[in-house]
Chains A and B, each alone.
Chain A
Amino acid sequence: MTIAAPRRRWVKKNLFGGVWSSLVTIGLGLAIGYVAFVLIRFLATADFTILRRNLALFMVGSFPRPELWRVAVAVLILAVAAGVAGGLINASARLRAHQAGLPVPAPPGPRSLVNGFRRYWPLALLIAVCLLLTETVTPTILVLGAIGILVASSWALARLPYSRWSWSLVVALPFVAYLVLSSSGLGWDKWGGFMLNIFLTVAGILFAFPIGLSLALGRRSSLPIVRTFSVAYIELFRGVPLITLLLLGVFALRLFLPSQLNPSSVTRILVAITIFEAAYIAEVIRGGLQSLPTGQVEAASSLGLSTWKTTRLIVLPQALRATIPAMVGQFISLFKDTTLVAAVGLSDMLNTSSIATSQPEFNARGLARITLPFVALAFWAGSYTMSREARRLERRLGIGER
């Protein structure tokens, strides 16, 4: 009883501090209770057969079923890459602490497994839900294997002597995964489901980022042609809805290309996304560039650094750091916007939902109320993880900021 007293005081002070605050607390409490009730009733009574039958469709679209092992191998390879990256980040942080004469943190131990689950709980939730919906045991083995590999490689890399060259593994492994997935004619054109959304997001960012960066720098160039081109590009593509560009990509890109080149529809969509995203990334980076005090460039110039070195070593590290929140916001909206490809007939995860609900077995039974929340959960888990990671990164980079 005595232990509960401070808690009671907290409740009284923060939840029932006055008439209004009490009313708000009661009102919101009732609303939350109602939503929880509806949710539990839904989970208890709904029939998830449509998800169980179509789980593979949601995840990888119409990727040939006998070739699914490729997806499994790719997942395992990506797990190695993630583990290596995690281990290297840890090792380099410990090396830096050591060099700076600060207390060196311990390498990852059993506790970091718990921390990992807490850090990535939205993803863990999504994976758990997917595993509950599986009909065979193979996916569970795959997930456990992937986690095991991830943990093992991160522990190993954190303990091996740190070398910058190890980062090349992190770059190379995704390519290996891609080769495994796409060899024997299963290029990204055959991809679908959540895999396609993830691919379009990652590839879109990777292609658009350097272009956007060049445009942002081009906008400040001393050469009038470069400046005009950059401004024209940015203002043109920022003013056009993505869906218009996607439709143009599907139906009109051919007009601009030599006739021998006949890119597949996913490629055309990727081009459209890259063009669009580059303009937005350029604007985000411009904001970061503008936030930099002019004294920084003057100090670098007065030391004799060339324009290019000043940009690379002084301007960009600070400007890009300042853009992290906006940049991640941009990436999250791209991730969600990849569902627009459903409108041009690609079978991404959202489109898969309509494909599943129109199967003869499930047709006209209003099952979108089952499939759409699942799609929403997948996108929420991805987006929320990105924003959590961004906030973490911001906090970490905050050290030494003035």
Chain B
Amino acid sequence: MTDPKSQPMIQLEKVDKFFGSFQALRDIDLVVGRTEVVVVIGPSGSGKSTLIRCINRLEKHDAGRVIVDGIELTDDVRNIQDVRKETGMVFQQFNLFPHLSVLDNVTLAPRQVRRMGKDESEKLAMKMLTRVRIPEQARKFPGQLSGGQQQRVAIARSLAMQPKIMLFDEPTSALDPEMIKEVLETMEELAATGMTMIVVTHEMGFARAVADRVVFMADGQIVEVGTPEHFFTNPEEERTKLFLSQIL
């Protein structure tokens, strides 16, 4: 049997991204294999968010190719929708829908996008909420939950679309320290199920324990890619060493 990690799930080829005249991504080449977990690190403004937002077309890349599970992202709206159906995203600010109950937050996309019935979608939602360990909060509204609980609802909301890929943009940066752990544990369990994940985070413990590879970015470019051991024991590039010395 071939290693699933050798089959590409996400392919970025020579991707450039500009905001006006400012180049936020420069010549990005990255292939993420099936079931692989990639952690992206780098200083603020280095383009980490922009990189993962190009994968589900929250940002449109200006040059190069982005191919997700064999679907190339073009201006074709159907392609974009197909990619988004397969790709969940978790944001730093949770971005739960405050006017909907927790349950409705989770059932919304399965019902509206997958055209699932009410009962079936609620069963699925409860399964996902159980997986992130907060089924008892289903009837509450997001505003009534703690930050850690909200972020776990956000993860359940993405999982309810049964995506093949999960993108995380600093999922624990807005959380109090005591809540960071519960969210990281949820993500670790998710990785163990074989989900393909790209995680932007400053949690080096998570990177060390869960990541297959770590990507270090600076100034819109990928500076260095390697296994966690490689990164934390003998990084090659000067910029990587400098950055790691600042955050570790």
Contact B95 A296 (CB under 8 A): yes
Task: Determine if A135 is an interface residue (Cβ-Cβ < 8 Å).
Answer: no
Once A313-B112, A399-B141 are accepted as A-B contacts, the answer to whether A302 and B87 lie under 8 Å apart by CB is yes
Contact B141 A299 (CB under 8 A): no
Task: Determine if A303 is an interface residue (Cβ-Cβ < 8 Å).
Answer: yes
- Distance in Å: Cβ of A143 to nearest Cβ of chain B: 39
Task: Determine if A164 is an interface residue (Cβ-Cβ < 8 Å).
Answer: no
Contact B85 A304 (CB under 8 A): yes
Interface centre among A100, A101, A303, A399 (most CB of B within 10 A): A303
Contact B101 A303 (CB under 8 A): no
Q: How many residues of A contact B (CB 8 A)?
A: 25
**Chain A-chain B contacts (Cβ-Cβ < 8 Å), number:** 77
Bound complex: CA A100 to CA B57 (Å): 36
Contact B108 A400 (CB under 8 A): no
Contact A305 B143 (CB under 8 A): no
- Distance in Å: Cβ of B20 to nearest Cβ of chain A: 18
Bound complex: CA A302 to CA B143 (Å): 21
Bound complex: CA A81 to CA B38 (Å): 60
CB-contact partner of B143 in A303, A304, A309, A402, under 8 A = A402
Once A399-B141, A400-B141, A402-B142 are accepted as A-B contacts, the answer to whether A303 and B95 lie under 8 Å apart by CB is no
Query: Which residues of A are found within 8 Å of B89, using beta-carbon distances?
Result: 298-299, 302
Interface range on chain B (Cβ under 8 Å from partner): 20 to 34
Task: Determine if A321 is an interface residue (Cβ-Cβ < 8 Å).
Answer: yes
Task: Determine if B88 is an interface residue (Cβ-Cβ < 8 Å).
Answer: yes
Contact B91 A301 (CB under 8 A): no
CB-contact partner of A400 in B56, B85, B101, B154, under 8 A = B101
Contact B113 A303 (CB under 8 A): yes
Task: Determine if A253 is an interface residue (Cβ-Cβ < 8 Å).
Answer: no
CB-contact partner of B113 in A102, A305, A314, A317, under 8 A = A305
Contact A302 B84 (CB under 8 A): yes
Task: Determine if A22 is an interface residue (Cβ-Cβ < 8 Å).
Answer: no
**Nearest-CB residue, chain A, relative to B83:** A304
Contact A401 B84 (CB under 8 A): no
Cβ < 8 Å to A, chain B residues 81-102: 81, 84-85, 87-89, 91, 93, 95-99, 101
**Nearest-CB residue, chain A, relative to B114:** A304
Once A296-B97, A298-B58, A313-B108 are accepted as A-B contacts, the answer to whether A306 and B81 lie under 8 Å apart by CB is yes
- Distance in Å: Cβ of A347 to nearest Cβ of chain B: 44
Cβ < 8 Å to B, chain A residues 61-108: 100-102
Known contacts A304-B113, A400-B101; 5 further A-B pairs (Cβ under 8 A): A295-B91, A302-B84, A303-B161, A401-B141, A401-B143
